[in-house]
């Protein structure tokens, strides 16, 4: 039998097998339909379509709500509690009284101290007499003149020290301003290099698209996968994989994967190319690498098909060899273009590292100049303080000398008057101490906050000088709520200061608040199970949400946001034998590749297209 007749016989057999399979499928479908109708059973399921959304993945944790700003107050003296003015959770203004000790005895003690001052002053007034000799007066006069001359000489030197410090400060400020200006120049120059590298990557990615399009189309002409090229290889289709049918299966599968990825990538690229944001070029570089790998696999599998094909009149060995050579050349050209993209990616990395390194180096210089400015400012402040204090001290000494001279000229003997002055000083100290104790008997708020804890509620209770661990009253800023979370060691690297979070609460339904990480502890803690954790603080604005202290909180640390990604509902994707799949509306189970999710939707990166209907 000739090859042509053999092909016709095989086609007729293939057609009868297809017709028989269709008849069996129709019979099974009708049987299943009438079975369902007879049992009056209606399958319940949800449907949705693959669509494009913005997805934000997150890291989840939970902990408690606490108050950040607290102020603990104690009575500085021990006494009996006489009155309480405020209650727990009551607002207080600055200087509002909170509680008072019994002050009757303290007022009596203050009255006694004032009477003691009046008596001491009266005794001094009764004892003022005595004279100094002329020689003592002359010596004091000479000492006074010497002190005045010394002060005039020293003032000039102290003022010169201040002038020198001012000049040093001006020079330090000038150096700091120059360093800040140089930082902006470095940022501008290095940012230009980063931009040039990203533009180069943009050009190389744009160049690889027509190559991939051409090579995939040439592969399709050989394999006849798509409708466009299906009929071109009918004459020699059965000879393509004659030696090894598995090569054809592998080639078709890899071609579909590459072609689907190319259609998505080229569509996204056209949108991006119309209004490119070079800061996002990194994602397209990675996608281009993925496309290159898929295309490379498809071309290699096509070579395997050709090598395992039998020559025929419609597809002689010369054509097979020419096709293999052409595909190999395509691989070489594709590799060369991909190397350009990889080199441009490395150039972006190098320019970003250069920008970071040079900015950090210049910032270190700025920090050093800032320290120099602070030191110069401190030197200036010290010089001014020295000038002021030395002048005050010298004037004080001159005033003492003048007073001493005046006292010697008067008829009073200072040695006789000293005991009376000491008595007046002691009495005044008594007044000051009694006044302080009377003030300490009243506990007042130093700020406009809220009474949080007031453990003692009964008057005439004996108050002791309490320790810091058991204050008499604690006031808080009600608006200083924050969440203190314990993040395990394998997750802490995914958390950073300033990171946006979403907070929900077990006790409040439909309440979702946002916050940002403000603090990450460097100190590790170990819980009872031996798990290492790190404390993370997240302040937030409670607004009118009724959030309270110790509410159990769920925290979602936002990680990655991707826009315009193909996605389906999270619950529609199932896992079986380490593979993810979805069920199409026609009950076909289709394996898919997934990426990030936000617990509501999950990204689909292959094997589905826009508006495919799924059931779950």
Query: Tens digits of per-residue pLDDT, 384-440?
Result: 887 788 787 777 777 777 766 666 665 555 676 778 778 888 888 888 887 887 777
The 10s digit of each residue's pLDDT in 204-246 is 888 899 999 999 988 888 887 887 777 665 555 655 666 788 8
How much is the pTM? 0.37
Distance between alpha carbon 425 and the CA centroid of its chain, in Å? 61
**What is the chain's length?**
616
The reported pLDDT for the residue numbered 35 is: 56
Q: How far apart are CA 397 and CA 379, in angstroms?
A: 26
The 10s digit of each residue's pLDDT in 77-129 is 777 877 888 787 777 887 788 888 777 777 777 888 888 888 878 877 666 54
Pick the CATH number of 52-68+480-615 from 3.40.50.720, 2.40.30.170, 2.60.40.1930, 3.30.450.20: 2.40.30.170
The 10s digit of each residue's pLDDT in 144-155 is 777 777 777 788
The reported pLDDT for the residue numbered 232 is: 65
Buried b (16+ CB within 10 A) or exposed e, 329-368: ebbeebeebbebbeebbebbeebbeebeeeeeebeebbee
Q: How far apart are CA 162 and CA 386, in angstroms?
A: 9
The reported pLDDT for the residue numbered 3 is: 42
Q: Say which CATH architecture domain 69-102+441-478 belongs to.
A: Beta Barrel (2.40)
Please give the residue that has the higher pLDDT: either 152 or 260: 260
**Residue in the block written with tokens 């602070």:** 374
Going by C-alpha positions, the residue among 397, 434, 438 that lies closest to residue 75 is 438
- List the domain boundaries for the chain: 3-44, 52-68+480-615, 69-102+441-478, 191-368
- If pLDDT is split at 50, 70 and 90, which confidence band does 40 have? very low
Least confident of 278-287, 457-466, 528-537: 457-466
Percent of the chain with pLDDT over 70: 86
> What is the helix (H) or strand (E) element at residue 4, kind and residue range?
helix 3-38
Buried b (16+ CB within 10 A) or exposed e, 556-587: bbbeeebeebbbbbeebbeeeeeeebbbeeee
The reported pLDDT for the residue numbered 126 is: 66
The 10s digit of each residue's pLDDT in 543-577 is 766 787 778 888 888 777 778 888 889 888 888 88
The reported pLDDT for the residue numbered 457 is: 74
So what CATH class is 191-368?
mainly alpha
Model confidence at 38: pLDDT above 60:
no
Mean residue pLDDT across the chain: 80
Going by C-alpha positions, the residue among 512, 515, 516 that lies closest to residue 547 is 512
The 10s digit of each residue's pLDDT in 60-74 is 676 777 776 676 777
Percent of the chain with pLDDT over 90: 7
The arithmetic mean of pLDDT across residues 20-41, rounded, is 66
Please give the residue that has the higher pLDDT: either 356 or 3: 356
Model confidence at 33: pLDDT above 70:
no
Inter-residue long-range contacts of 462-467, CB under 8 Å, 24+ positions, other chains counted: 462/78, 462/79, 462/80, 462/81, 463/75, 463/78, 463/79, 463/80, 463/81, 463/101, 464/78, 465/74, 465/75, 465/76, 465/77, 465/78, 466/74, 466/75
- If pLDDT is split at 50, 70 and 90, which confidence band does 135 have? low
The 10s digit of each residue's pLDDT in 274-333 is 998 888 888 888 999 999 999 999 999 999 888 888 777 777 888 888 889 999 999 999
For residue 278, the 8-state DSSP code is G
Model confidence at 6: pLDDT above 80:
no
- If pLDDT is split at 50, 70 and 90, which confidence band does 608 have? confident
The arithmetic mean of pLDDT across residues 124-145, rounded, is 63
Q: How far apart are CA 432 and CA 424, in angstroms?
A: 13
DSSP letters for 287-349: HHHHHHHHHHHHHHHHHHHHHTPPP-SSS-HHHHHHHHHHHHHHHHHHHHHHHHHHHHHHHHH
Residue 418's Cβ-count burial label (10 Å; 0-12, 13-18, 19+) is exposed
- If pLDDT is split at 50, 70 and 90, which confidence band does 1 have? very low
Instruction: Give the count of beta carbons closer than 10 Å to the beta carbon of residue 469.
Output: 6
Model confidence at 253: pLDDT above 90:
yes
Model confidence at 601: pLDDT above 80:
yes
Inter-residue long-range contacts of 146-150, CB under 8 Å, 24+ positions, other chains counted: 147/394, 147/397, 147/398, 147/401, 148/398, 150/394
For residue 40, the 8-state DSSP code is T
The arithmetic mean of pLDDT across residues 356-361, rounded, is 86
The reported pLDDT for the residue numbered 261 is: 94
The reported pLDDT for the residue numbered 231 is: 67
Model confidence at 528: pLDDT above 70:
yes
């Amino acid at each position: 039998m000739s090859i042509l007749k053999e092909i016709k016989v095989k086609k007729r057999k293939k057609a009868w097998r297809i017709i028989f399979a269709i008849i069996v499928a129709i019979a099974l479908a009708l049987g299943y339909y009438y079975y369902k109708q007879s049992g009056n059973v209606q399958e319940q399921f949800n449907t949705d379509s693959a669509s494009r959304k913005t997805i934000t993945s997150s890291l989840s944790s939970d902990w408690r709500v606490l108050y950040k700003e607290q102020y603990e107050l104690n009575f500085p003296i021990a006494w009996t509690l006489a009155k309480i003015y405020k209650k727990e959770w009551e607002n207080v203004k600055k200087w509002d009284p909170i509680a008072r000790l019994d002050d009757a005895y303290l007022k009596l003690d203050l009255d006694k101290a004032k009477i003691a001052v009046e008596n001491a002053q009266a005794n001094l007034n009764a004892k003022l007499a005595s004279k100094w000799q002329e020689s003592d007066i002359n010596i004091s006069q000479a000492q006074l003149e010497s002190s005045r001359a010394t002060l005039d000489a020293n003032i000039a030197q102290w003022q010169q020290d201040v002038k020198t410090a001012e000049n040093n400060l001006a020079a330090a400020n000038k150096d700091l301003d120059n360093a800040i200006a140089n930082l902006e120049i470095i940022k501008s120059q290095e940012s230009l290099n980063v931009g040039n590298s990203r533009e180069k990557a943009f050009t190389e990615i744009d160049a690889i698209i027509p190559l991939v399009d051409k090579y995939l189309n040439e592969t399709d002409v050989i394999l006849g996968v798509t409708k466009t090229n299906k009929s071109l290889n009918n004459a020699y289709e059965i000879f393509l994989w004659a030696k090894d049918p598995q090569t054809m299966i592998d080639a078709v599968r890899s071609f579909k994967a590459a072609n689907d990825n190319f259609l998505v990538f080229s569509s996204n690229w056209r949108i991006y190319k119309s209004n490119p944001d070079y800061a996002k070029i990194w994602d397209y570089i990675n996608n281009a690498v993925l496309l290159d790998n898929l295309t490379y696999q498809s071309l290699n599998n096509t070579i395997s098909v050709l090598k395992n094909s039998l020559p025929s009149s419609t597809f002689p060995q010369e054509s097979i060899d020419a096709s293999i050579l052409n595909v190999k050349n395509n691989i070489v050209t594709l590799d060369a273009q991909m190397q350009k993209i990889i080199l441009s990616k490395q150039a972006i990395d190098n320019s970003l590292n250069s920008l970071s390194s040079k900015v950090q180096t210049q910032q270190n210089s700025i920090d050093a100049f800032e320290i120099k400015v602070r030191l110069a400012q401190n030197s200036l402040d010290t010089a001014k303080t020295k000038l002021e204090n030395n002048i005050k001290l010298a004037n004080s000494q001159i005033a003492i000398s003048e007073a001493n001279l005046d006292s010697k000229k008067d008829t009073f003997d200072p040695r006789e008057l000293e005991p009376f002055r000491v008595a007046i000083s002691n009495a005044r100290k008594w007044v000051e101490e009694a006044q302080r104790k009377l003030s300490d008997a009243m506990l007042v708020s130093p700020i406009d906050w809220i009474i949080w804890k007031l453990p003692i509620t009964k008057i005439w209770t004996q108050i002791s000088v309490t320790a810091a661990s058991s204050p008499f009253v604690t006031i808080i800023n009600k608006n200083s709520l924050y969440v203190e979370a314990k993040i395990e060691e394998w997750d802490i690297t995914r958390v950073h200061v300033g990171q946006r979070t979403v907070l929900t609460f077990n006790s409040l339904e439909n309440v979702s608040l946002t916050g940002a990480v403000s603090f990450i502890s460097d100190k590790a803690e170990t819980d009872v199970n031996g798990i290492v954790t790190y404390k993370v603080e997240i302040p937030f604005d409670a607004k009118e949400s009724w959030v309270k202290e110790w509410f159990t909180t769920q925290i979602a640390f936002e990680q990655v946001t991707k826009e315009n990604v193909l996605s389906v509902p999270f619950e529609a994707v199932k896992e079986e034998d380490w593979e993810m799949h979805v069920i199409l509306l026609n009950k076909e189970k289709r394996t898919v590749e997934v990426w990030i999710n936000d617990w509501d939707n999950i990204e689909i990166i292959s094997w589905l297209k826009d508006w495919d209907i799924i059931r779950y």
